[in-house]
Amino acid sequence: MDRYAVVGNPIAHSKSPMIHQRFAQQTGQQLSYEKILVDLSAFDEEVCSFFALGGKGLNVTVPFKEDAFRYADELTPRGKQAGAINTLAIRSDGTVLGDNTDGAGLVADLLNLGWQIQGKRILLLGAGGAVRGVVGPLLAQQPQEIVIANRTVEKAEAVAASFASDVLKSSGYAELAGQFDLVINGTSASLGGEVPPLPEGLLNGNTRVYDMMYGAEPTAFLKWAAAQGVTSLSDGLGMLVEQAAEAFELWRGVRPDTAPVIQSLRAEMAKSA
Ligand code: ATR
């Protein structure tokens, strides 16, 4: 049976095995998918032995996405642009291809929600790996403007500069002005229950607000947006399932149906809350 896994540290709470097993059942594919806890200094060794023992593909999560970028023999254009890799696949000649499916996952989830990107003014918060992975696919949807804003403004400037696009701007939080159609939180602030310190007046009743983080309860960022009167809100659970679907398609050549998987994960999370 073809073998797949997700590698990370920590990894215990990963939902990837559940998601890929559902995709496999749904599409009639025979495969196994496990989670592997990898020592912080043992990424190359672990991945090398996984493929040497016949493994077909890996998902890569925190903190190894940059290691996977270095490890891959070849990169997809979007993986190269992101500078971080979340999917590895072995090819028939034994070389390993690296891809980044996070941005495609975000775009697919936004479109599932009926949230148009084309022609919109977008605020993207954060300038770490999570944000770098989604800039290219968002730009490909032809927004009117994307402003990348970060606590450390130099990091936002560096990300914007690396894409050389006229519609991409960078900013600190305090300098932000005007209203946005779509605000995407790509910072890890919600992990600590915090919200980036944004000035007032950026949101209106039609603004849509997305947090790439997810949990059984609404994130601190979504609670903050709801308190400002925003009604179109989403966490990143759909993005998680959509990025997995992109990886599954790369490995197996079949596109799974994501909607029932998103729905059942949501139901299970609500039960465990
Ligand atoms: P990831 O790979 O998840 O993007 P990262 O590279 O560590 O992780 O980046 C974390 C991002 O969240 C950064 O943009 C960070 O801002 P700084 O670059 O200024 O550090 C942002 N972040 C983390 N905690 C935050 C907080 N409490 N308020 C605002 N931004 C925060």
- 228-251 mean pLDDT: 98
Identify whether residues 47 and 135 lie together within a single domain.
no
Instruction: Compute CA 228 distance to the chain's CA centroid, rounded to the nearest angstrom.
Output: 26
Q: In whole numbers, what is the pLDDT of the chain averaged over residues?
A: 96
Identify whether residues 95 and 11 lie together within a single domain.
yes
CA pair distance 233, 4, nearest whole angstrom: 33
Q: In 10 A of CB 123, how many CB atoms?
A: 24
142 domain residue, yes or no: yes
CA pair distance 138, 141, nearest whole angstrom: 5
The minimum-distance atom of ligand 1 relative to the CA of 62 is 2
DSSP string, 65-134: HHHHHHH-SEE-HHHHHHT--SEEEE-TTS-EEEE--HHHHHHHHHHHTT---TT-EEEEE--SHHHHHH
Identify whether residues 189 and 83 lie together within a single domain.
no
Whether residue 74 has pLDDT greater than 80:
yes
* Ligand 1 within 6 A of CB of 188: yes
244 domain residue, yes or no: no
- Tell me the residue range of the domain where 19 lies: 2-100
Whether residue 219 has pLDDT greater than 90:
yes
pLDDT tens across 104-116, in order? 999 999 999 999 9
Q: Give residue 189 CA to ligand 1 midpoint distance, Å.
A: 6
Identify whether residues 89 and 166 lie together within a single domain.
no
Whether residue 273 has pLDDT greater than 80:
no
Whether residue 124 has pLDDT greater than 80:
yes
Whether residue 272 has pLDDT greater than 90:
no
Q: Give residue 70 CA to ligand 1 midpoint distance, Å.
A: 22
Whether residue 271 has pLDDT greater than 90:
no
Which residue, judged by its Cα, is nearest atom 5 of ligand 1?
Answer: 128
* Ligand 1 within 6 A of CB of 127: yes
- 120-142 mean pLDDT: 96
Side-chain half-sphere of 152: how many Cα atoms within 13 Å?
7
Model-wide pTM > 0.85 = yes
pLDDT tens across 17-32, in order? 999 999 999 999 999 9
Identify whether residues 79 and 191 lie together within a single domain.
no
CA pair distance 183, 146, nearest whole angstrom: 10
* Ligand 1 within 6 A of CB of 189: yes
Q: Given 84, 100, 116, which residue is the final one in a domain?
A: 100
219 domain residue, yes or no: yes
The minimum-distance atom of ligand 1 relative to the CA of 155 is 18
Domain count, the chain: 2
DSSP string, 211-254: ES---SSPPHHHHHHHHTT--EEE-SHHHHHHHHHHHHHHHHS-
264 domain residue, yes or no: no
Q: Select from 99, 6, 98 the least CA-distant residue to 50.
A: 6
261 domain residue, yes or no: no
**Most informative mutation of 151, 159, 224 for ligand 1 (most atoms within 8 A of CB):** 151
Identify whether residues 25 and 73 lie together within a single domain.
yes
114 domain residue, yes or no: yes
Residues annotated catalytic, as ranges: 65
pLDDT tens across 31-72, in order? 999 999 999 999 999 999 999 999 999 999 999 999 999 999
Q: Give residue 84 CA to ligand 1 midpoint distance, Å.
A: 16
The minimum-distance atom of ligand 1 relative to the CA of 173 is 29
Identify whether residues 69 and 191 lie together within a single domain.
no
Identify whether residues 140 and 175 lie together within a single domain.
yes
Whole-number pLDDT of residue 210: 98
CA pair distance 224, 219, nearest whole angstrom: 9
What CATH number corresponds to the domain at position 47? 3.40.50.10860
CA pair distance 254, 248, nearest whole angstrom: 7
Do 240 and 105 form a contact (C-beta atoms < 8 A)?
A: yes
Whole-number pLDDT of residue 270: 87
31 domain residue, yes or no: yes
Identify whether residues 35 and 149 lie together within a single domain.
no
Identify whether residues 35 and 137 lie together within a single domain.
no
Which residue, judged by its Cα, is nearest atom 7 of ligand 1?
Answer: 128
Identify whether residues 116 and 170 lie together within a single domain.
yes
Helix, strand or coil, per DSSP, at residue 14: coil
**Most informative mutation of 9, 135, 187 for ligand 1 (most atoms within 8 A of CB):** 187
Whole-number pLDDT of residue 191: 86
Which percentage of the chain shows pLDDT scores above 70? 100
Identify whether residues 116 and 204 lie together within a single domain.
yes
The minimum-distance atom of ligand 1 relative to the CA of 152 is 19
